[in-house]
Structure 1
Amino acid sequence: MGLDRSFALDRRAERIDALAAKRKKVIASDQMIEGHYPVFADWAHGAHFWDVDGNKYLDFFLSYGTVILGHADPDVDEAVVREIRRGFATGLMKPVQTELIEELLGIVPGAEMGMLLKTGSDATGAAVRLSRAFTGRDRVVRWGYNGWHDWCAQWDHGIPAVSRALVDTFTYNDLDSLRAVFERHRGQIACLVMMPFMVERPAEGFLQGVRELTREHGTLLVFDEIRSGFRLALGGAQEYYGVTADLVTLSKAFANGYAISALTGRADVLRTLDTVHISSTYYANADAMAAALATVRKLRSGDHLKRIWQMGERLQSGLGRLVEEFGAPIDVVGHPPMPFLDFHFGDEDRNQQAKRSFYTATIREGVFLHPNHHWFISAATTDHDIDTAVGAARRGFEALAEAGWLPADWRRRQEDGAV
């Protein structure tokens, strides 16, 4: 599997493109296996993409989960083309904006009003600003990945300490740690912004307990459903877990890859928009709105989410059998639409070394699994695709064994023909 053109383009980009130069040094969740993963894609369709060297990949990355129906979905793309041909950037509202928000209010639990933005960071940032204006409080509690703005960026460099002074966090699935934050800052916390989950699932009653704590302290609960919205269920984690937040942020799978986000929730909170400044020239552009409307309607009318769950369960089941067969210190984790493998080879350095063996093997099989970010299933993924992925994973486990990462007993049983 040659990657010469991809790497040559990468060297060109690193000299002139600041984001390309930074890509390999950003955050752990961005890191792939350098030298083995492609850098430049050429085109994509359905559950696959092709890199600039002509290599084909079965895609479980799906642009960090923004693609849910499959690449280049014809219904979504045609809706966008129609809107573009009608002139999508007038600066005025277009009918699709109202239609899309009406659609959201029929889907998202607790949604009485909504507003459309462009990015996930837009949506979480707007939620924080509205919460502060509505409550008259300044402090924010957060958990998970909530974007790149000063109050939530993962790196401190370039951010004044004062920007972080009003932000706290807590330990997931530990209500006592959250309760301690509320007690320490009683009457000061405007909102709690949190992903309902990342890879670890919420413990029984945890999200309900979070909801009760925020109500008790007069704090707005903001669910960051940038990843989980439209994927765990049509109504997101709120629908799946039966917990309703005051505000909800949405993006990613919302528009099958097009750039749009939304903030929905209580009307009294969203009407506070009258008193704050949240604006962008591009919020009124209707191309991505058309994509979102087509995506949501397609998800709502078909069995796409059911199929995504089935494919995810099939993948997790196959991976679970391999873990047991090879005796690997690896857990199959996450919800079926967003699965992952959690490595337990000791410290993080050893985990990354083991991942290098495993994921070098799987990418050589043409299966694109991100080593450090949970994966995604699309509605275009088939039973054959899942079988292909499980076959590639088998090669990954064999590579772990060959590199000496797995128990000697497995290697002996392999030689004896017992495996």
Structure 2
Amino acid sequence: MTDVGLHTSELLDTALRVDARARARGPITGREYDVAAYPVHARSAKGSRIRDESGREYLDFLLGYGPIILGHNDDRINNAVIRCLVDGGANCMAPLWPPEQVELCNLLCEVVPNAESAFLLKTGSDATSAAVRLARIHTGREVVLRSGYNGWHDWSAPHPVGIPKSVRSLTQEFSFDDLENLEKLLLDNAGRVAAVMTTPFQESRTTSAHLAAIRDAAHRHGALFILDEMRSGFRLALGGAQEYFGIDADMATFSKAMANGFAISALTGRADVLDGLARTKISSTFFASRPEMAAAITTMRLLRDTSALETIRTRGEQLMDGMRPIFSSRRDVVSVHGYGPMPALVFAPDPAARAAADRFVEACVARGVLVHPNHQWFVSESHTSKDIDHALEVFDAAAAAL
């Protein structure tokens, strides 16, 4: 454990020497790992606040890139996990399974539309990759058409370096908003497409009709339709985008908000498709980790049985409604998009706008509000109306940087 008195510069210097991820990721804003401009390491968090390595507190709208839906370090989730730890639940019990595995799968099938069966994994990339494998088994086809970010595994990694061309040739990306582009790819790969996978929306809003058109195109060509709900799952609605938009997918993938920050993911969908697991090997010793399952069960029950989701929607809409007039005069540079639980401040795709985004974010951070220049933001149940009002005051002041 690091010494509380360790200087941030020492911590960063050590990280850049021994931590490969630190060297590879690069800074959030344009300044080269300037901890005064944007924090690098977090030391603690509670509710809507997070503290950096120097102990400075920020109002957090990143929430771990989306997993924190109830609030950081929530006692209700912690207590459920602690009960598992007292029973020795942190120890590996393979090949035996914890009873929470059945309970969680049953809960997923109850709350997620079209979920006849569920499979528990560890990360989002685990779940999307399992979905692709099962789609190929079910259809006997190999090609996958996808849109959005679907993980880091070879079939979907955003960058081609290190991935054989023969592997990448079996995955083709389509433009989410361009149905003609999707139809052309389906025709160009006639009889070869196993699945069409997409996130339910990017930064901008979408419609039920558009998602239905993507699904119908996939089915018309004999492919499965898979919704990647890593960000939207349990945020837009308890049943995710499928419930919110009234759209059924053959399979859907979840993680992030599923367990309020604990590392777990799930694949849900048609039983006949998921039964393909008997014909392949998708396994990990830690897929059966009990504390994460307890965290997921508790999180999902709280979202189901309390007003948490309504609170999140209300606070998110308050935030977006307040942001629109602040940025209305600079629509050439920036605009407000998305949905209340996960708004997006989208900057124009040019160097000047990117520099403006960095300046804006640094101005927010200097005033104690943590936001990101090129990623969706998120709202949790722990964000209060006063938190939102404070954030809007900061945004208004920081908008001068644009």
TM-score if structure 1 supplies the norm length? 0.91
Question: Could you tell me how far apart the structure 1 residues matched to 2:51 and 2:188 are?
Answer: 52
SS in 2 for 1:84: helix
Question: Could you tell me how far apart the structure 2 residues matched to 1:154 and 1:174 are?
Answer: 20
Task: Determine whether 1:133 maps to 2:137.
Answer: yes
Q: Which residue of 2 is the match for residue 384 of structure 1?
A: 386
Question: Could you tell me how far apart the structure 2 residues matched to 1:223 and 1:127 are?
Answer: 10
Give the 5 Å matches for 1:338-357: 338-344=342-348, 347-357=349-359
Say whether the 8 Å CA contact 1:173–1:203 is kept in structure 2: no
Give the 5 Å matches for 1:214-253: 214-253=218-257
Q: Which residue of 2 is the match for residue 84 of structure 1?
A: 85
Task: Determine whether 1:305 maps to 2:322.
Answer: no
SS in 1 for 2:7: helix
- Root-mean-square deviation (Å): 1.6
Give the 5 Å matches for 1:404-415: none
SS in 2 for 1:196: coil
Query: Which residue, 364, 378, 384 being the options, matches 1:362?
Result: 364
Question: Could you tell me how far apart the structure 2 residues matched to 1:103 and 1:204 are?
Answer: 25
Say whether the 8 Å CA contact 1:6–1:38 is kept in structure 2: no
Task: Determine whether 1:61 maps to 2:65.
Answer: no
Deviations 1:162-220 (A, max 9, x none): 11111111111211111111111111100111101121222462101011111111111
Q: Which runs of 5+ in 1 are unaligned?
A: 401-419
Question: Could you tell me how far apart the structure 1 residues matched to 2:100 and 2:344 are?
Answer: 36
Query: Which residue, 144, 150, 157 being the options, matches 2:154?
Result: 150
Task: Determine whether 1:260 maps to 2:237.
Answer: no
Say whether the 8 Å CA contact 2:346–2:374 is kept in structure 1: no
Give the 5 Å matches for 1:48-197: 48-88=49-89, 89-91=92-94, 92-197=96-201
Say whether the 8 Å CA contact 2:30–2:355 is kept in structure 1: no
Q: Which residue of 2 is the match for residue 334 of structure 1?
A: 338
Q: Which residue of 1 is the match for residue 374 of structure 2?
A: 372
Moved more, 316-325 or 40-49: 316-325
Question: Could you tell me how far apart the structure 1 residues matched to 2:252 and 2:116 are?
Answer: 11
Deviations 1:224-282 (A, max 9, x none): 00110000111001111111100000000000000000000000000010001101011
Question: Could you tell me how far apart the structure 2 residues matched to 1:291 and 1:32 are?
Answer: 36
SS in 1 for 2:26: helix
CA shift, 1:348, in A, is 2.1
SS in 1 for 2:339: coil
Residues 71 and 325 (structure 1), Cα distance of their counterparts in 2 relative to 1, 3 Å cut = same
CA shift, 1:354, in A, is 0.7
Question: Could you tell me how far apart the structure 2 residues matched to 1:241 and 1:45 are?
Answer: 32
Residues 327 and 168 (structure 1), Cα distance of their counterparts in 2 relative to 1, 3 Å cut = closer
Question: Could you tell me how far apart the structure 2 residues matched to 1:372 and 1:58 are?
Answer: 18
Deviations 1:399-419 (A, max 9, x none): 32xxxxxxxxxxxxxxxxxxx
Question: Could you tell me how far apart the structure 2 residues matched to 1:223 and 1:41 are?
Answer: 32
CA shift, 1:325, in A, is 5.8
Residues 281 and 55 (structure 1), Cα distance of their counterparts in 2 relative to 1, 3 Å cut = same
Say whether the 8 Å CA contact 1:100–1:293 is kept in structure 2: yes
AA partner of residue 176 (structure 2): Y
Q: Which residue of 2 is the match for residue 398 of structure 1?
A: 400
CA shift, 1:7, in A, is 3.5
Q: Which runs of 5+ in 2 are unaligned?
A: none
Question: Could you tell me how far apart the structure 2 residues matched to 1:7 and 1:305 are?
Answer: 40
Residues 328 and 194 (structure 1), Cα distance of their counterparts in 2 relative to 1, 3 Å cut = closer
Say whether the 8 Å CA contact 1:246–1:265 is kept in structure 2: yes
Structure 1 segments of 4 or more deviating over 6 A? none
Task: Determine whether 1:12 maps to 2:14.
Answer: yes
Question: Could you tell me how far apart the structure 2 residues matched to 1:280 and 1:204 are?
Answer: 36
Moved more, 120-129 or 193-202: 193-202
Moved more, 170-179 or 269-278: 170-179
Say whether the 8 Å CA contact 2:333–2:353 is kept in structure 1: no
Say whether the 8 Å CA contact 2:146–2:174 is kept in structure 1: yes
TM-score if structure 2 supplies the norm length? 0.94
CA shift, 1:23, in A, is 1.6
Moved more, 349-358 or 375-384: 349-358
AA partner of residue 139 (structure 2): T
CA shift, 1:303, in A, is 0.8
